[in-house]
């Protein structure tokens, strides 16, 4: 039931009388700067997990929405101001300007709410927050395209700093926003099911018990890797008409507290690279069959490790220092026009003859729509590091890659990590 509620996060909500966009022809910069001047109030992961002992109450939900209502407009306003600081010619790029408008719209809608004191107003805010969170879900492809077109107008270091700050801020906004939306749906699901009257102590654990908003407290990495690998394999077969097999071994019963959508994004990016590289290298070397992709799960103190091993030819040594740079291959001499647009490396390239549109369409089903623009690995690393994890690559040229992903359990780092 909760899973169905969480899936509703993707449904757009209609506009409500509490929050109408301004009819002014110019944005109210005074209001934006007023909010942007306020200090961010970080929330610890422990606070996000404080409602772990269900059932949720109306007081819990009003407490959660109070923080979201106070904090999200401040963070959104700071993002809006960051766009103001871009060079004029960069800010007027249509892709970047569209992202700016999305951030301003989210700020304008959320800050317009009066202080929320009852569940009816909370529900209206939640549906608006759900809509704006979904609207901001697709900003990275536009930013990637915009900066690709404007790269000559900003130094590489400044572009990298802006994009990294935007992505980190986006993760924080989505974690706070999606956590409240999920809690709100969870609360109403419990009310409808009458679970508020059920005694918690001694009751057998159900599927609902492992969720705290958007956080899954008993996530099994091995099971998630199976699901992600199967999806990537199907996409690979669809576009290459062939795909390697895979298997998952190691500590397959290990669990962690994590946000499943984050885990899925990171691992799909890594698996996609492994599958594509394996197929490409088989074609290049004339292999009659593809070596399997090996996924190994290891257990650590408060974290799990994931190693993805492929025999896809590896990454050239001369490119290793750049693989975590945004759109890194688009700056290399000798790229074709299409590879400059897709940002793909020689070992991670699209199939011969595949158009840019087809390549990007493929990516929309596998790990996010921006993988073809050279953002996949740097974004995956940012997501891994956000909760105290890490992502490293060891390449053996003309053989393959070992990718090492370390994910720290949210519950294990709850007290020290703030977002």
Which domain CATH number covers 355?
3.30.565.10
User: What is d(CA 135, CA 214) in angstroms, rounded to the nearest whole number?
Assistant: 18
The model's confidence at residue 154, banded by pLDDT at 50, 70 and 90, is: very high
Shared domain for 56 and 26, answered yes or no, is yes
Is 414 contained in some domain? no
Least reliable range by pLDDT among 135-139, 366-370, 405-409: 366-370
Give percent of the chain with pLDDT exceeding 70.
Answer: 76
3-state secondary structure of 281: helix
User: What is d(CA 143, CA 101) in angstroms, rounded to the nearest whole number?
Assistant: 12
What tokens were used for 154? 């900003």
CA 132, 356, 87, 98: dihedral to nearest 10 degrees? -30
Q: Are 413 and 388 in contact (CB under 8 A)?
A: yes
pLDDT, residue 208, reads 53
Token pair 């709100």 is at which residue? 184
Shared domain for 22 and 99, answered yes or no, is yes
The model's confidence at residue 214, banded by pLDDT at 50, 70 and 90, is: confident
Shared domain for 247 and 157, answered yes or no, is no
Q: At what angle do helices 94-111 and 29-36 cross, to 10 degrees?
A: 80
Which domain CATH number covers 108?
1.20.140.20
Please, what's the b/e burial string for 264-284 (b: 16 or more CB within 10 A of its CB; e: otherwise)? bbbbbbbbbbbbbbbbbbbee
Number of domains in the chain: 2
Residue-wise pLDDT for 299-350, tens only, equals 988 899 999 999 999 998 888 888 888 865 423 333 333 332 233 333 333 3
What tokens were used for 168? 């980190």
User: What is d(CA 237, CA 372) in angstroms, rounded to the nearest whole number?
Assistant: 18
The model's confidence at residue 413, banded by pLDDT at 50, 70 and 90, is: low
The model's confidence at residue 247, banded by pLDDT at 50, 70 and 90, is: very high
Least reliable range by pLDDT among 241-245, 247-251, 343-347: 343-347
The model's confidence at residue 44, banded by pLDDT at 50, 70 and 90, is: confident
3-state secondary structure of 99: helix
Last residue of a domain, one of 197, 230, 263: 197
User: What is d(CA 324, CA 80) in angstroms, rounded to the nearest whole number?
Assistant: 26
Give percent of the chain with pLDDT exceeding 90.
Answer: 52
pLDDT, residue 412, reads 59
For residue 311, the tally of other CB atoms under 10 A from its CB is: 22
Among 151, 148, 143, CA closest to 83: 143
Is 413 contained in some domain? no
Residue 374 has pLDDT above 70, yes or no: yes
Residue-wise pLDDT for 48-81, tens only, equals 777 776 678 899 999 999 999 999 999 999 999 9
Domain carrying residue 13: 2-197
Is 309 contained in some domain? yes
């Amino acid at each position: 039931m909760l899973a169905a509620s969480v899936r509703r996060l993707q449904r757009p909500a209609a506009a409500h009388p509490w929050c109408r966009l301004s009819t002014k022809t110019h944005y109210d910069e005074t209001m934006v700067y007023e909010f942007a001047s306020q200090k961010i109030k970080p929330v610890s992961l422990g606070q996000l997990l404080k409602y772990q002992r269900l059932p949720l109450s109306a007081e819990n939900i009003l407490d959660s929405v109070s923080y979201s209502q106070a904090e999200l407009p401040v963070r959104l306003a700071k993002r809006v101001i960051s766009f103001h600081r871009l060079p004029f010619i960069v800010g007027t790029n249509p892709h970047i300007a569209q992202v700016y408008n999305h951030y301003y719209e989210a700020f304008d809608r959320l800050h317009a709410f009066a202080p929320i004191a009852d569940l009816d107003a909370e529900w209206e805010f939640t549906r608006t927050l759900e809509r704006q969170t979904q609207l901001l879900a697709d900003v990275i492809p536009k930013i990637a395209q915009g900066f690709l077109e404007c790269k000559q107008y900003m130094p590489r270091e400044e572009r990298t700093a802006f994009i990294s700050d935007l992505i980190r801020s986006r993760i924080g906004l989505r974690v706070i926003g999606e956590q409240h939306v999920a809690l709100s749906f969870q609360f109403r699901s419990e009310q409808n099911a009458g679970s508020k009257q059920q005694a918690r102590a001694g009751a057998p654990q159900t599927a609902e018990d492992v969720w705290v908003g958007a956080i899954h407290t008993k996530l099994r990495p091995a099971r998630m890797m199976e699901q992600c690998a199967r999806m990537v394999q199907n996409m690979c077969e669809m576009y290459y008409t062939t795909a390697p097999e895979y298997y998952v071994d190691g500590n397959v019963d290990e669990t962690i507290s994590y946000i499943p959508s984050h885990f899925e994004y990171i691992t799909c990016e890594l698996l996609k690279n492994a599958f594509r590289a394996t197929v490409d290298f088989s074609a290049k070397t004339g292999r009659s069959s593809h070596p399997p992709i090996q996924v190994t799960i290891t257990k650590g103190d408060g974290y799990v490790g994931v190693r993805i091993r492929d025999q896809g030819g590896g990454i050239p040594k001369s490119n290793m220092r750049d693989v975590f740079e945004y759109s890194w291959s688009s700056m290399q001499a000798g790229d074709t026009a299409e590879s400059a647009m897709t940002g793909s490396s020689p070992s991670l390239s699209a199939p011969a003859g595949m158009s840019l549109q087809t390549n990007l369409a493929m990516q929309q089903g596998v790990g996010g729509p921006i993988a073809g623009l050279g953002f996949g690995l740097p974004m995956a690393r940012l997501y891994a590091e956000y909760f105290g994890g890490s992502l490293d690559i060891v390449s053996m040229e003309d053989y393959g890659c070992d990718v090492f992903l370390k994910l720290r359990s949210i519950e294990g780092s709850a007290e020290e990590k703030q977002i």
